[in-house]
Each structure stands twice: as structure tokens, then as C-alpha cells.
Structure 1
Amino acid sequence: MIRVDNVTIGYGTTSFIKAVDNVSLELGSNEIVGIAGESGSGKSTLMRAIYGDFSTGLRIQSGTIEGQFTDPQTGAVTQAPSTDFRKLWWDQISYVPQGSMSVLNPLMKIEEQVIDGLPRRERQGSRSELRARIVKFLSGFGLGEHVLDVYPHQLSGGMRQRVLVAIAAFVNPRLILADEPTTALDVVVQKKILLMMVEIQRKLRNTLVLVSHDLGVHYQITDRLVIMYKGQVVETGPTTEIFANPQHDYTRNLIASLPRLHGQRATDRVGA
């Protein structure tokens, strides 16, 4: 689906600040891929480049990011470089950012923000018909109709994050990129959000890419894991294999830092 080939990515026009250094990876169909690493390792920069968001000085200095998407309804195949991915937003690629209060417009009710995130073709019919579709869809995320009639600050952090996930999943995109989607949520709400994202991926059979500095989160949800350190990919492979036999010192340190209970690692597989 997505091929990242020896990309070096950074910021700036007159001067270049490198954030991702010569990274290669592939994202296939129907899988959950985790990208892990400490703050500043290049995770979010790589995600933004894969999403095709070059609006704030982000640029690819060398290498390529290319995607191939098959429309599940028509069977039509679209091939494009990441610089053209903006045309595929919401239809084929969607993004779940971190920090719901910094993303949701505080001056707009939730209904307006859901509708604002939909492609034009999804807004056909009357307003009442569209609202009914949205209500039915949100119910699958544990969100009642009343959520549409309030402002973001009137919802809990967990409910706001569910709204963002729902917006991202509404048109059944083939690729969902989630950047620290459970940051600042308590562990109970965090697990609910993760379980919901697993259920969405299983239902849509699409690809979910999850960025998190928390290796425990990756153990719970991902099929395959990419470890980044200082802008580079230092290890990649099936998640359970990396936990069982990490090859890089940085990966070993990350795993060793996970909390343990009675000698066992305090993690379990969500949905297992």
C-alpha cells in the first residue's frame, strides 16, 4: 500500500533541520503497524510525511514515499507520491492526531465538525438524513446523539478522542494514521480507545498505523513494530518477536523499562 524508500525528511527552506534520516519501510494491507521511539526520534514527522501534510515547512530532502490504493467499491487503483496524498484525504487516508482540544474547533459544535470533515459526496441528501447517518455511526463508538449538540469543552478527553477516531473512520479509508491517540488519557479510557481502534481495523480490514512512545501500548495492539531512534529505524519485525528477542540495544532498554508485576511484564494483548 505504502512504500517509504530511503527518505530523509526535515523542516525549513533556506536551512534544513533533519528529523528523519534515510528511513525505509512498507505498509501492507490489513495490518496494524506500530511506530515506537522516544520523543524527538522522528515518529510524528514520518507520519506527517506519509499522510502528505507538507503545510508547515516539512519537506522530503531525498528518497520517496509512494502509495497504491484500491477503491473497495469500484476496484480502481490509484498510485501517487505522498505530495499528492492530500487529494486522497478521508477517502483513502485519514489521520487521528494527538491532543483533541488543539484539533477540534472550540467554537463549533461537534455535528458541524463531523460534517466539515466529510468529502462532498458524503454530504448528499437532506441535513436530517445526514444527521441520522452520523448518529448511527457514532453509536458504534459509544457516543449518543447529544454529543452532536455540544462544544468540545463540554466532553471528556476520552469522548473527544472517540469523536476524532469516528471522523477518521467514517468513510472507510484504506489507511488510518494515529499519532499518539491515547496521550493524556487514563489507563481505563486508553484501553477502551485502543480496543475500539482494533475493532474498527478488523471490521474495515484496512491498515492502521499507530505512533506511540509507549511500548506497552504497541504490545497490546500492533501486529508489526518499527523502532525509531535519532531519526532512524533501528529495528522492525513482528511485535511479539521483537518483545521476545530484541536485537538492538535501544529496543532492549525500551522493553526493560516496562513495569513488571511479580516478575511478569505488565502488558496484555487487547482483543486477544
Structure 2
Amino acid sequence: MITIDNVTVGYGKAGFITAVDNVSLTINENEILGIAGESGSGKSTLMRAVYGDFSTGLRIKSGTVTGHFTNAHNGQLIEEPSSEFKKLWWDQITYIPQGSMSVLNPLMKVEKQVIDGLPKRERRGSRADLRRRIAEFLAGFGLEENVLDAYPHQLSGGMRQRVLVAIAAFVNPRLILADEPTTALDVVVQKKILLMMVEIQRRLRNTLVLVSHDMGVHYQITDRLVIMYKGKIVESGPTAEIFANPQHDYTKNLIASLPRLHGRRSADVAGELA
């Protein structure tokens, strides 16, 4: 689906600051891929490069990011470089950023923000029909229709984050990129949102890329895990194998940092409850 080939990504032109250094990675169809690492390891920068978001001064210094998508209208394979990914936004590719209050417009009701984010093909029919379809979709996330009439500040953090997840899933994308989607949420709400994301991926059979510094989150839901450190990938493989037999010292430290409950990692306990 996505091929990242020897990519170096950073910011600035005259004084280029490298954030991702010579990374190669394949993102496959129908998988939940986790990207882990501490703050500043390059996780979010890599996701912006994959999404094709160069609005913050980000640029690819070397290497290529290429997407391979099937056109929903004629079944033909589309191959695009990341510089052209913008035309696939909210169609083939959607993005769940961290920080719902910084993403949702505080001066605009939720209904308008949902509709404005939809591609034209999803705006078919009357406004009332579109609202009905959106309300039915939100109900699957435990959100009542009156959420559409609310401003973001009138919703809890968990509700706002569920709105963002619902917006990203509504268009049936082939790829959902989630950048720390449960940061700052309490563990109960976090768990609900993660389980929703897993259910979406299973139902749509699409690809979910989950960026998180929380190794417990990766343990619970990802199929494959990539560990980043100082802008490089230092380890990758099936999540279960990495947790069972980590090879890199940094990975070992990340896993060892998980708190333990009665001699077991909290991730083990959480996994049993999933």
C-alpha cells in the first residue's frame, strides 16, 4: 500500500534539520501497524510525510514515499508519490491527529465540521439525508445525534476524540493514520476508543497506522510494530515477537518501563480485558 524507500525528512531549506534519517518501511494492506518511540524520535514527522502534509515546512530531502491504491470507481491501481497524496485526503487516506481541541474549530458546530471534511461523493442527497447518515454512523461510536448540534467545548475529551475517529472512518478509507489518538485521555476512555479503532479496521479491512509512545497500547492492538529512535528505525517485526524477544537495547528499555501489576506487565492485564 505505502512504500517508504530510504527516506530522509526534515525541516528548513538553508539549515536543514533532519527528523527522520534514511528510513525504509512498507505499510501493508489490512494490518494494524504500530510506530513507537519517545518524543522526538521522528514518529509524527514520518506520518506527516506519509500523509503528504508539507504545510509546516516539512520536506523530503532524499528517498521516496509512494502509495499504491485501488481506484474505487474503476478498480485501476493508482500509484502516487507523497507530494500528490493531498488529492487522496479524506478519500483513500484519512488522518486522526492528537489534541482534539486544537483540531476541531471551537467556533463551529460539529455537524458543519463533519460535513466540510467529507469529499463531494459523500455529500449526495439532501442535507437532512446526510445528517441522518452521519447520525447513524456516530451512533456506532456511542454518540447521540445531539452531538452534531454541539460546539467542541461542550463535549468531553473522549467524545471529541470519538468524533475525530468517526470523521476519519466515515469515508471508508483504505488507510487511516492515527497520531497519538488517545493522548491525555483517562485509561477507561482510552480503552473504548482503541477498541473502536480495532473494530473499524476489522470491519473495513483497511490499514490502520497507530503512532504512540505507549507500548501498552501497541501490545493490545497492533499486528506489527516499528521502533524509532533518534529518527531511525532500530527494530521492527510482529508485535508479539518483539515483546517476547526484543533485540535492541532501546526496545528492551521501552518494554521494561511498562508498570507491573502483581508481577505481570500492565499490558498483559489490559490485553486480557480487551
CA deviation profile, 1:216-241 (whole Å, cap 9, x unmatched): 11001100000000000000000000
Letter in 2 for 1:56: T
Letter in 1 for 2:204: L
Partner of 1:115: 115
CA contact (8 A) 1:224 1:237 kept: yes
| Mapped partners of 2:71, 2:237: distance in 1 | 28
| Mapped partners of 2:261, 2:124: distance in 1 | 53
Deviation at 1:73, TM superposition (A): 5.4
| Mapped partners of 2:124, 2:258: distance in 1 | 49
Partner of 2:106: 106
Residue 14 of structure 2 aligns to a residue whose secondary structure is coil
Deviation at 1:75, TM superposition (A): 1.6
| Mapped partners of 1:178, 1:102: distance in 2 | 15
Partner of 2:54: 54
Deviation at 1:4, TM superposition (A): 0.3
Which shows bigger deviation, 179-188 or 9-18? 9-18
Per the normalisation by structure 1, the TM-score is 0.98
Report how many residues are paired.
272
Deviation at 1:81, TM superposition (A): 0.4
Partner of 2:71: 71
Q: Which stretches in structure 2 are left out of the alignment for 5+ residues? A: none
Deviation at 1:263, TM superposition (A): 1.2
Partner of 1:195: 195
Partner of 1:226: 226
| Mapped partners of 2:169, 2:73: distance in 1 | 16
CA deviation profile, 1:138-180 (whole Å, cap 9, x unmatched): 1111111000001000000000000000110111000000000
Residue 132 of structure 2 aligns to a residue whose secondary structure is helix
1:211 aligns with 2:215: no
Partner of 2:10: 10
**Mapping 1:132-211, distance limit 5 Å:** 132-211=132-211
| Mapped partners of 1:271, 1:261: distance in 2 | 14
Letter in 1 for 2:114: V
Partner of 1:269: 271
Partner of 2:247: 247
CA contact (8 A) 1:33 1:223 kept: yes
> Over aligned residue pairs, what C-alpha RMSD do you find?
1.1
Residue 34 of structure 1 aligns to a residue whose secondary structure is strand
Give the direction of change, closer, same or farther, for the CA distance of 1:17–1:223 in structure 2 (3 Å limit): same
Q: Which stretches in structure 1 are left out of the alignment for 5+ residues? A: none
CA contact (8 A) 1:195 1:271 kept: no
Which shows bigger deviation, 220-229 or 256-265? 256-265
| Mapped partners of 1:197, 1:271: distance in 2 | 16
Residue 163 of structure 1 aligns to a residue whose secondary structure is helix
Letter in 2 for 1:80: E
Residue 246 of structure 1 aligns to a residue whose secondary structure is coil
Partner of 2:96: 96
Following TM superposition, where does structure 1 have runs of at least 4 consecutive aligned residues deviating by more than 4 angstroms?
none
CA deviation profile, 1:5-63 (whole Å, cap 9, x unmatched): 00000001221010000000000000000000000000000000000000110000000
CA deviation profile, 1:102-127 (whole Å, cap 9, x unmatched): 00000000000000100011112111
| Mapped partners of 1:13, 1:103: distance in 2 | 27
CA contact (8 A) 1:194 1:270 kept: no
Deviation at 1:271, TM superposition (A): 7.8
Per the normalisation by structure 2, the TM-score is 0.97
Deviation at 1:72, TM superposition (A): 4.7
| Mapped partners of 2:258, 2:131: distance in 1 | 44
